[in-house]
Each structure stands twice: as C-alpha cells, then as structure tokens.
Homo-oligomer: A and B are copies of this chain.
Amino acid sequence: MSVAIVDETSAGTGIARPSDDILIDIYRKVALIRLNDDRSVAVLKSGRLSMPYYSPRGQEVIPSAVSAALREDDYICTIYRGIHDMLAKGMPLRDLWAEIAGRITGICKGKGGPMHLTYPDKGIMVTTGIVGSSMPIANGLAWASQMDGNDKVTVAYFGDGASNIGAFHEAMNLAGLWKLPVVFVCQNNQFSEHTTYAKSTAAERIADRAAGYNMPGERVDGNSPIEMYDAASRAVERARSGQGPTLIEAMTFRFSGHVYGDDDAYMDPAVKAEAVAADPVPRFRSWLLSEGIATETELAAIEEAIKVDLDEAVRFAETSAFPEIEELQRDVFADEDVK
C-alpha cells in the first residue's frame, strides 16, 4: 500500500470546497494537535513527564476535519491514540495536561491518564486502551440518541488493526441493523504496533467490509482536509437525519513508532520517508496561504496563541498537586463507603 497523497485542492474529485471559516477552523485544530505533540515529546524527552504516549503525528487532519463536521453536543469515543481526536473535539489543554501529569487537577483526577481521558462537557465520552472497544460503546450512545429522538451523532474512532477484532464486527452489525446514528472512523495508518496492514488485514480495503453490514463504506484520503471533511459531513448528515451509520476508512500514516520510546525499526524507511515528505500539516498550511484563505500573520497568530496555551497548561500541570492517597479508593462506586 502506498502512502496517501494529500491533494487539498481535490482537483478533479468534484468535491465542494468548504468555506474559508471551516478550513481555518480545521487548521486551528490541526495546529493544536501538531503543537501539542511537539510539546508532549519535548516534555517526555526532558524526563519531567512519564507516561505511555501514542503520538498522533501524521494523523492530525482526520479528527480535525471530522470535528469540524460535528456539533459540540455530538459524542465521540476514542482510543489510546486519541489525544488528537479529543483536542479536535474541544478537550481543554489544562485539563489534559494535568491529567497526563497525574495531578488531582487533571480532568480524571489523575486516575485515568492518557489512555482514559474523558470530557463529557464536549461529548468526549470514553477513551479506551482496548483495541476495538470504542465501537460497541459508541453504539450505545447513538442508541440513546435514537431513543431520545434527538439528533446527536456519535463518532467512533479506531485504527486499522482494530478492524480485525471481534468487537468491530459486532458493533458494525448492530449499528447497521438498528440504523444507529454513528460514524465509524477508521484511521488507517497502515500499522498495528509493529505489524503492517498487509500482515493484519485480509480485506484489500477496510471500507469494503461495510457492505456486510448494510452501510456505506468509503475509503478517503484522511490527510486531505477537503476530502476528509466532505466524507465526514456526508456521514454525519446521514446519521443525523436517521439514515444510519457509515464506515469511513481514512488513509493516513503513523510518523512515529507505536508508542513513545519505540524505535520503529520495523518500519520500511523508504515508505516512512515518503509519508513524512507528504506531511499533511505543512502542506495544508502552505495551501491555505497559496489559496489566499489565510495570511501568514493569521496562521502565525493561531499558532502563537496555541503555544501560549500550551505553556500555561504545562505550567498548570506541573505546579498542581498529586492526588492524596485517599483518592485511590474513591470513584470506584458512587457510594464511597462501598469497598
């Protein structure tokens, strides 16, 4: 499988270009994810922070475009490699950083950590460390919306490797059968830990599996903001209007090893180099400039503001207290006295 090529102009695809506002909104999210990743790696390298970190580098565009198609009250369920999905959906940096630093001021009081970040205020309902498990739960959120008769949509994020586990199948079938308002977004970064797509997945395209669940399935260039936004908007609209779920296979590439510290020796250097050369972040940025959608000053201001927020978030995290030992047995049940 070759690396997805970003063509933000989507020339010849007949895809309508979203408004400039939307494009800039997407870029703001992309930049946030990109800069947060930089900062995370820097802080990890400094040794001031220690956590399992699954970098989303290379996959920034997917959730940014998806979230631009979502409402604030829509839900997402995501995975260990999900900080990009959450930032795009509105997770505040302070809450995030304090959590990954294990502080009591963290959004999960330091108990969840990076793999279990949760922020219901912005619809970030579940983050799971178990491959495949975001999907069955996403169905439940969508089922609730269906029963409530509201028009909220739920997005389930997962990886290419996750499309081979049982939970994927059960969830897809139920969603197709019950016509649930879910969008299944598979971020196909072509690796499951150390194993390539070709050694994991019998299907030529994961999107092909949708047919077996009576739902549309589409492979798109996840690194193209325009293609990704287009596919997401149609899927979200379909879900919102009661027509049921969609499977989107968003092609992308994982720029780092699986987890921070993993040397990625198993990745073909040529393939990786090609992907990195097509880095969607600078390409999107230059395209915005070349199309006159934003000026250098505007983009620099966006980035600067993010950096300021990051400084503040890291400072907040590092100066916050760790939880007291009493917290260890709190939040097991609603009733604290039950042990």
Asked, given contacts A166-B165, A166-B167, A173-B164, whether A203 binds B214 with beta carbons under 8 Å apart, the answer is: yes
Q: Mark A160-199, 1 if CB is under 8 A from B, else 0.
A: 0000111111101111110000000000000000000001
> What residues of chain B lie closer than 8 Å to A166, measured between beta carbons?
165-167, 169-170
> Is the CB of A251 closer than 8 A to any CB of chain B?
no
Nearest-CB residue, chain B, relative to A203: B212
Q: Is A9 in the interface zone, CB < 8 Å from B?
A: no
A172 proximity list for chain B (CB < 8 A): 202
Q: Are A170 and B177 in contact (CB under 8 A)?
A: no
- Could you say which of A167, A172, A209, A212 has the most chain B C-beta atoms within 10 Å of its C-beta? A212
In the complex the two chains form, what is the Cα distance from A214 to B198 in whole Å?
12
Residues of B within 8 A of A176 (CB): 202-203
Cβ–Cβ < 8 Å partners of A200 in chain B: 177
Cα–Cα distance between A204 and B176 once the two chains are bound (Å): 11
**Which interface class (under 10, 10 to 19, 20 to 34, 35 or more) fits A?**
20 to 34
* A172→B215 CA distance, assembly (Å): 20
B202 with A208: CB separation less than 8 A: no
Within 8 A of B (CB), among A187-243: 199-204, 208-209, 211-215
Partner of A170, one of B164, B175, B203, B204: B164
The interface residues of chain B lying within 8 Å CB-to-CB of A173 are 164, 201-203
Chain B residues with CB under 8 Å of A203's CB are 173, 176, 211-214
Q: How distant is A146 from chain B, measured CB to nearest CB, in Å?
A: 15
Report the Cα distance A209→B173, complex, angstroms: 11
Kindly state the separation between the CA atoms of A175 and B213 in the bound complex, as whole angstroms: 20
**Which residue of the partner chain, among B168, B174, B199, B211, contacts A169 with CB atoms under 8 Å?**
B168
A208 touches B201 (CB 8 A): no
Other-chain contact of A214, B167, B204, B215 (Cβ < 8 Å): B204
Q: Which of B167, B199, B211 contacts A208 (CB 8 A)?
A: B211
**A137, chain B: closest CB distance, angstroms:** 15
* Residues in B whose Cβ lies below 8 Å from that of A169: 164-166, 168-170
Q: Which residues of B contact A170 (CB under 8 A)?
A: 164-166, 169
Are A177 and B201 also in contact (CB < 8 A) when A208-B211, A212-B208, A212-B209 are? Answer: yes
The CA of A200 and the CA of B173, in the complex, are separated in Å by 8
Q: Smallest distance from the beta carbon of A206 to chain B beta carbons, Å? A: 8
Q: How far is the CA of A199 from the CA of B214 in the complex (A)?
A: 13
A170, A173, A175, A201 interface centre (most CB from chain B within 10 Å):
A173
Contacts of A167 in B (CB 8 A): 166
Enumerate chain B residues within 8 angstroms of A208, measured Cβ to Cβ: 211-212
Query: Given known contacts A177-B199, A202-B215, A204-B214, what 8 new A-B pairs fall within 8 Å (CB)?
Result: A164-B170, A164-B173, A165-B166, A166-B169, A177-B200, A177-B201, A177-B202, A209-B209
12 contacts between A and B (CB under 8 A): A165-B166, A165-B169, A166-B170, A169-B169, A173-B201, A174-B202, A177-B200, A177-B202, A202-B212, A203-B214, A208-B211, A211-B211
Nearest 7 pairs of A and B residues by beta carbon: A166-B166, A176-B202, A169-B169, A209-B212, A202-B214, A177-B202, A202-B213
